[in-house]
Amino acid sequence: MKSYEHIINEYEGIKKSGVDNLNSNNVFQNIKNLAFGCQEYLSSCGRIELISKVADKAYFSFNRGNKSSRAIRNDLFTTDNKLLELFLDCLNSNEFNSISNDDLDKAGYTIAISFCAVIDIEKVGDQKTPGTFFEYFMGHCFAKKLNVNPENKVDVLNLDMEMTLPTDLIFDLGPNKPKFHVPVKTSTRERVIQVWAHQRVLDGVYGSGRFIGVLACLSETKLNKKRLEVVEICLPNQWRLYQLYIAQMKGVYYLDLPEVYAKLNLSFPKIHVKTFSSFFKEPIDVLLTE
Amino acid sequence: MKSYEHIINEYEGIKKSGVDNLNSNNVFQNIKNLAFGCQEYLSSCGRIELISKVADKAYFSFNRGNKSSRAIRNDLFTTDNKLLELFLDCLNSNEFNSISNDDLDKAGYTIAISFCAVIDIEKVGDQKTPGTFFEYFMGHCFAKKLNVNPENKVDVLNLDMEMTLPTDLIFDLGPNKPKFHVPVKTSTRERVIQVWAHQRVLDGVYGSGRFIGVLACLSETKLNKKRLEVVEICLPNQWRLYQLYIAQMKGVYYLDLPEVYAKLNLSFPKIHVKTFSSFFKEPIDVLLTE
């Protein structure tokens, strides 16, 4: 169908332009076109209300024929294109005073989950394409906010070893300024230990404190398509052990924030786990001083 | 077909008995029956020679109708049931003098890869079932050799935190004796950082040197089914960084050992990367003293 091809063209555009400069206007335009393309596509899909096993959160799923999408949070998904437009204008100008936290979270969540939903319906079992888009989308948002184009590798020089270490996104704000190490995951589960391990390698190679670890996540929901039940899979005690014994992640930003992870703000070892909007509305100093 | 159901019954038996005691005779009998069941199943399949891009190694693939298996190394796969019988007798008696290193590697490789091949053909895209079997099979082999039933969790007590840490296989040889931490993977790729990170958590919680990290792997091949080409995907420089900056893995044992990883025996930081048979034929002291 025409709108799907249009969406995929924009996605390919993001990948092509994003390789060189994730902070570029080309990437911004591709994301904008993709976002509205997904809205158009999904407006012709049906909706199934899901049975939510997650306290205080309701979810639905888009469907077309016998294909259906992952779980989508009712209160975060918006069909208000004007809200998406406002968010994109704020992003492009790196000026977020005119948008509320709630609206920022809604717009970010909607753009991210909409593309995932389209791919769920069109390409059953494809986890890679949604993950790749989410990485580019988050990378672009962080690049706009920090006003720097990220790298995805760093040089390592250790006596007779000279090599390049592939990394998640690295935002280097310049001499005597912080450098951010930003892994991006649609969901984490037991694979999340990789995030702390990469932080540990950066701490080891460059010294503790040189890279500030910030994780960006979409959600932790899991949908049982037969029973139409949504659960959240969270491992807060394992996060605490990783924070104590592997390395320190300073901040974690979720589009659909699980309550058990939000509580890690309150216990030792403290991890700054917040909603997506907090990264754009709070002073970045919160990550440097806590 | 009958032989497939028989194989799956034995696989379910391994899972059922293995939960309580991976070192049990029930698990041994299930593995033995499964191994011969796979031989029977595969004897009725065709073979396709593959184009090997791996130096000095030739590979083929089993096929049935339009389904085909992963890459299988010609010189390690055997149809000699007497050899499998000899290996299983040695395993059961924990006495490996009567089998050569080469025969031990062939038998271990054949049992592991045969089940993977059957599942590749019967359940396209199922990576979990071969991975689970391989974990039980390796766990059983290590349990026989070390003569102890492994655990898959350890207790953590840290001031006001009291919790259980899920782990890979842990073999506790008793007071004042080594404890082995044994992750098992059919292949590693970039996910391998998890292995070092888990070792780091154990080192942190219990102190460095309390757990000896030993990784068991099947192979690192990747088959392009369209072009019938086999490559090996290896990241030796990343292993070196993990060994320097995250934790120390003492040994890595491969059924199909990649040459670039074998070379890590020769460079700093040294990692003892060997064939499967070495674990059974060498004194274990090599892991404690190097």
pLDDT digits (tens, 9 = 90+) for A92-104: 999 999 999 999 9
What single-letter DSSP state applies at residue A273?
E
pLDDT score at A7 = 97
A246 vs B: CB within 8 A: yes
Of A158, A190, A201, the CB nearest to B246: A201
Q: Does an H or E element contain B215, and which? A: strand B211-217
A178 to chain B nearest CA, in Å? 21
pLDDT score at A267 = 84
A244 to chain B nearest CA, in Å? 8
Helices (H), chain A: 2-20, 25-43, 81-93, 101-122, 128-146, 193-206, 236-245, 259-262, 276-281, 285-289
B217 to chain A nearest CA, in Å? 19
The CA-atom distances, in angstroms, between A53 and each of A69, A230, A260, B2, B193 are: 18, 6, 14, 41, 33
- What distance in Å separates the CA atoms of residue B33 and residue B7, rounded to the nearest whole number? 8
Give pTM, 2 decimals. Answer: 0.92
What percentage of chain B has pLDDT greater than the value 70? Answer: 99
B19 vs A: CB within 8 A: no
Answer yes or no: do A244 and B204 touch at CB < 8 A.
Answer: yes
pLDDT score at B120 = 96
Greater confidence (A1 vs B258) lies with: B258
The type of residue at B65 is G
Give the B window 123-142 contacts with A, CB below 8 Å: 125
pLDDT score at A12 = 97
Asked if pLDDT for residue A277 goes beyond 80, the answer is: yes
How many beta-carbon contacts under 8 Å exist across A and B?
68
For tokens 């089914």, the residue is B225
pLDDT digits (tens, 9 = 90+) for B198-223: 999 999 999 998 999 999 999 999 99
Given a contact cutoff of 8 angstroms between Cβ atoms, the answer to whether B104 and B281 are in contact is: yes
The CA-atom distances, in angstroms, between B218 and each of A104, B11, B40, B163, B227 are: 47, 18, 22, 32, 23
Q: Within 13 A of A12's CA, how many CA atoms are on the CB side?
A: 6
Answer yes or no: do B197 and A193 touch at CB < 8 A.
Answer: yes
pLDDT digits (tens, 9 = 90+) for B241-276: 999 999 999 999 999 999 999 999 988 888 999 999
The gap from C-alpha A104 to its chain's centroid, in whole angstroms, comes to 13
- What distance in Å separates the CA atoms of residue A1 and residue A121, rounded to the nearest whole number? 12
Q: Which residue of A has its CA nearest to B242?
A: A201
**Confidence band of A290 (pLDDT split at 50, 70, 90):** low
pLDDT digits (tens, 9 = 90+) for B144-177: 999 999 998 888 877 777 788 888 899 999 988 8
Long-range contacts of A99-104 (CB under 8 A, 24+ apart): A101/A275, A101/A277, A101/A278, A101/A281, A102/A277, A104/A276, A104/A277, A104/A280, A104/A281
Q: Which residue, A190, A144, A112, is CA-closest to A21?
A: A144
Chain B residues whose CB is inside 8 A of the A198 CB are 193
Note the residue count of chain B. 290
Asked if pLDDT for residue A34 goes beyond 90, the answer is: yes
Give the mean pLDDT of chain B.
94
Chain A residues whose CB is inside 8 A of the B238 CB are 165-166
Given a contact cutoff of 8 angstroms between Cβ atoms, the answer to whether A39 and A81 are in contact is: yes
Greater confidence (A258 vs A206) lies with: A258
Token readout for A272 is 């700054």
B158 to chain A nearest CA, in Å? 10
| Bridging pattern class, strands A272-275 and A251-254 | parallel
pLDDT score at A100 = 97
Q: Which residue, A85, A107, A104, is CA-closest to A96?
A: A104
Average pLDDT estimate for A162-166 = 82
Greater confidence (A253 vs B19) lies with: A253
Q: Which residue, B53, B60, B105, B55, is CA-closest to B260?
A: B55
Helix (H, G, I), strand (E, B) or coil at A55: coil
- What distance in Å separates the CA atoms of residue B202 and residue A8, rounded to the nearest whole number? 45
Asked if pLDDT for residue A2 goes beyond 70, the answer is: no
Sign of the dihedral through C-alpha B157, B159, B160, B161: negative
**Confidence band of A158 (pLDDT split at 50, 70, 90):** confident
A196 vs B: CB within 8 A: yes
Phi, psi of B74 (to 5 degrees): -55, -50
Report the residue of A201, A202, A243 to disrupt the B interface, i.e. the one with the largest count of B CBs within 10 Å: A201
pLDDT score at B2 = 62
Asked if pLDDT for residue A111 goes beyond 70, the answer is: yes
pLDDT score at A268 = 84
Chain A residues whose CB is inside 8 A of the B194 CB are 191, 193-194, 197
pLDDT score at B204 = 92
Helix (H, G, I), strand (E, B) or coil at A168: strand
Report the residue of B153, B201, B244 to disrupt the A interface, i.e. the one with the largest count of A CBs within 10 Å: B201
Answer yes or no: do B201 and A242 touch at CB < 8 A.
Answer: yes
pLDDT digits (tens, 9 = 90+) for A177-226: 889 999 999 999 888 999 999 999 999 999 998 999 999 999 999 999 99
Q: Does an H or E element contain B32, and which? A: helix B25-43
A201 to chain B nearest CA, in Å? 5
Chain B residues whose CB is inside 8 A of the A240 CB are 161
pLDDT score at A1 = 54
- What distance in Å separates the CA atoms of residue A130 and residue A62, rounded to the nearest whole number? 15
pLDDT score at B289 = 67
